[in-house]
Structure 1
């Protein structure tokens, strides 16, 4: 590939589509139509499953120096049910078929994509929205994005839906976005987060709240009134689809929201929350009036009364609702199989009777590319006239039965996935209960040992004090007899002498009859 001139690169930072087409021409490839048409409007929305390995190089080279785009989105659609148009496209085109492995699934492409986005975040001041959907990111990719977000001052919406981050990657990412005052909305839906991820989000909320309180204190000096709405920082956090978040994660988020005055919306659909976590969130709403959206729908473990109480408490501020609207009810994503391609039916078109003649490879080449293939009955070499069958009759009936079978299989798979998710939530709850029980038992056993030691010590001290005060007959506390003690003998001798002197005194006074 030939190198581009400095002047071309300078123009490419302003005109994305022209530079992208130039890079494609240099490597003798065709520009991607969706990229070119969207770039002219300042938006690049790419279906990553449809890009081949050779298509990524010019796209990433043009992206990493760009300064003009305001919206960048790379999405994969393997986790949701495809639309009718996408089904027809997958059926007629060889690329993007569900049975193939797209280039975005390779770690090399993912790493280059994250580096290009980080470079773009460093140089641009117009980008306001960045979305990565259903792209598997490793911890080094997340670190790259975090470094890019740290150096950016224009992105307001950041979404990593279904990117399978995990708790560790979210912790790395939070260190990069905690100081981004320009960032308003983050979306971590379906990122495999547990209560540890919720703890990271709670720490992020507390960190920004502390910074905002300091800024509000500075603005309140000299009888000024701080404007809380104009302060930068997060206003909406979306954590939908993280089934392992649970009550513990909800309690951590509720604790973080108690002292926060800026967060407006928190979305917790399908997060495995029960009545315990919902009541903690409801108690938080008692003295937090700025939160206008707290979405806990699609959590079947929450009673209707508790859910309605929360929804009623947060829907009072209609003005905030306009700025931060409620999300649509999330649908459970369907994981499309990549091991074997699935037949997709397309509405049958009216066709006339077709007779295939010639060699077998010629017949195969003449067949329609879509799913409405005519059923051909090849008769022996002695007859060739009865080799035609109507496609509207037998073909349609065959695919109707195939559609019914496919719908049945999809419904069974949905029920199976729901059951697996329910069991995962139950297992996680049981693990939390077991951990609490083990901790409680350990504390109880330690307390028992302490009490036994204290009891034995008190018994020994009591015996020693009893021996000192009363003692055994003829024994002292040190184990020697009383007669061996000189001070005791002197005291006894002195007492006897005093007694004899008293008797002599009585006799001298003629009172000796008292001694008898």
Structure 2
């Protein structure tokens, strides 16, 4: 039974309740991936499988929402372009692409997100993964983002934004005091994007310094760790960043006392950039994670030296080490392979007949070729069978345990080195004490022998004198 207008108006600030009302109104079955999250105030959806009729209840309920604390919109089928010729109900133009990868679909989603961000006061996590943003869409989203004071974690992982989009995001985020982490991995960011990120960190750095100065004038104890602002930046898999973009970040972080972790896996860094990072870590002891793994042009000795310096910095900040963990290397490699494979995913490349052959398991040559290609290309974990998916998760957990054990082993090596240094120092002090003792001895060996000989002569003389007196008597 369709609810009244008053009921729908009452439920409009609550996403899940309003979504179910809208589904009843438009005669659409509610999606299970949305209704299963009803008790958690969470919206985490993969937009690739959402049909045209199912799209409007989601976006309309999202535009009026004030209850969600976690919003994630993901796409596994990444494309380098957006179909601009899709409007209204002309679905035949995008037969082999999801609705989220059309100009019409992105406009609807971005407008809904903008309204939600400008209204909500409880949203803390925003994840937009694998989407393609035009400049207009991203500027609309950043307008809403700059007015959301409650947001804490922002992720554009594997979304195509470029250097211009990175500038828009940094300009929107720099005045948000509650933002704790920013993830712009695999977003095709280059040297200009590195400059924009450095300007973001500099702006927040100046704001914190001014706040510290105000607190010091009032004779208060300034707690640096409790000050708001960005603590972690992830820029993994941006191969065009290079040493030139890295230098902007290094110069910015030399005087920074707040950023704790920066991830730079597979960013085109060479030995020159790694040496600059090593110099930075000797100056900035606040950083606990600087991840430059998976950069093939970096020498292994330099990488070990950076890890050693980070271990020394982490030993001073034990609480930060427990809070800011290293990302697993397998995760970044999986993202890289997934981004390469999902551009031509077979689900959207093949015709309906070939997909039906694959689903039915028909044992002919065409179906066999389709199945083999499917198995080779579907590198993302969401397309793997259940058993392989479980094995992949076990492998990732195993690698994480190995990494923890290697960190503990490095700790033990450092402790052993300290013990050896103390032992050498004690040996040196003992030798110095022996030398001082020998210098303070007044009689040498020859003198002692001479004294002993004189004493023996005296005793023999006295014995002879006693024997003579006894004979006379």
Whether the TM-score (by the shorter chain) exceeds 0.5 is: yes
SS of the residue aligned with 1:370?
helix
Give yes or no for the alignment of 1:373 onto 2:362.
yes
Counterpart among 328, 332, 335 of residue 341 in structure 2: 335
Report the number of matched residues.
351
Q: C-alpha displacement at 1:175, in angstroms?
A: 1.2
The 5 Å alignment of 1:294-443 reads: 294-316=290-312, 317=314, 318-329=318-329, 330-331=332-333, 332=336, 333-336=339-342, 337=344, 370-373=359-362, 399=368
**Residue in 2 that maps onto 1:8:** 8
The 5 Å alignment of 1:29-178 reads: 29-78=28-77, 100-178=96-174
**Residue in 2 that maps onto 1:213:** 209
Alignment check: 8 A CA contact 2:235 2:263 kept: yes
Counterpart among 240, 251, 256 of residue 252 in structure 2: 256
**Residue in 2 that maps onto 1:473:** none
**Residue in 2 that maps onto 1:24:** 23
Q: C-alpha displacement at 1:186, in angstroms?
A: 0.6
- Going from structure 1 to structure 2, the CA distance change for 1:30 and 1:270 (only over 3 Å counts) comes to same
Taking the aligned partners of 1:108 and 1:4, their CA distance within structure 2 comes to 30
SS of the residue aligned with 2:154?
strand
Counterpart among 250, 263, 275 of residue 267 in structure 1: 263
Deviations along 1:245-294, whole A, 9 cap, x unmatched? 00001111100101111001100001000011111111111111111110
SS of the residue aligned with 1:31?
coil
- Going from structure 1 to structure 2, the CA distance change for 1:286 and 1:107 (only over 3 Å counts) comes to same
Q: C-alpha displacement at 1:146, in angstroms?
A: 1.2
- Going from structure 1 to structure 2, the CA distance change for 1:48 and 1:410 (only over 3 Å counts) comes to closer
Alignment check: 8 A CA contact 1:101 1:338 kept: no
- Going from structure 1 to structure 2, the CA distance change for 1:404 and 1:106 (only over 3 Å counts) comes to closer
Taking the aligned partners of 2:221 and 2:347, their CA distance within structure 1 comes to 64
Which has more helix, going by share of residues?
Answer: 2
Alignment check: 8 A CA contact 1:162 1:188 kept: yes
Taking the aligned partners of 2:112 and 2:95, their CA distance within structure 1 comes to 28
**Residue in 1 that maps onto 2:468:** none
Q: C-alpha displacement at 1:31, in angstroms?
A: 1.1
Alignment check: 8 A CA contact 1:99 1:338 kept: no
Taking the aligned partners of 1:241 and 1:162, their CA distance within structure 2 comes to 9
**Residue in 2 that maps onto 1:282:** 278
RMSD: 2.9
- Going from structure 1 to structure 2, the CA distance change for 1:5 and 1:408 (only over 3 Å counts) comes to closer
Alignment check: 8 A CA contact 2:346 2:374 kept: no
- Going from structure 1 to structure 2, the CA distance change for 1:279 and 1:66 (only over 3 Å counts) comes to same
Taking the aligned partners of 1:407 and 1:368, their CA distance within structure 2 comes to 15
- Going from structure 1 to structure 2, the CA distance change for 1:319 and 1:66 (only over 3 Å counts) comes to same
**Residue in 2 that maps onto 1:193:** 189
Taking the aligned partners of 1:327 and 1:200, their CA distance within structure 2 comes to 23
Q: C-alpha displacement at 1:123, in angstroms?
A: 1.2
Q: C-alpha displacement at 1:368, in angstroms?
A: 8.2
Decide which structure has the larger Cα Rg and report it: 1
Alignment check: 8 A CA contact 1:293 1:315 kept: no
Taking the aligned partners of 1:139 and 1:341, their CA distance within structure 2 comes to 26
SS of the residue aligned with 1:45?
strand
**Residue in 2 that maps onto 1:425:** none
Q: C-alpha displacement at 1:129, in angstroms?
A: 0.3
Alignment check: 8 A CA contact 1:17 1:40 kept: no
User: How high is the TM-score relative to the length of structure 2?
Assistant: 0.69
User: How high is the TM-score relative to the length of structure 1?
Assistant: 0.63
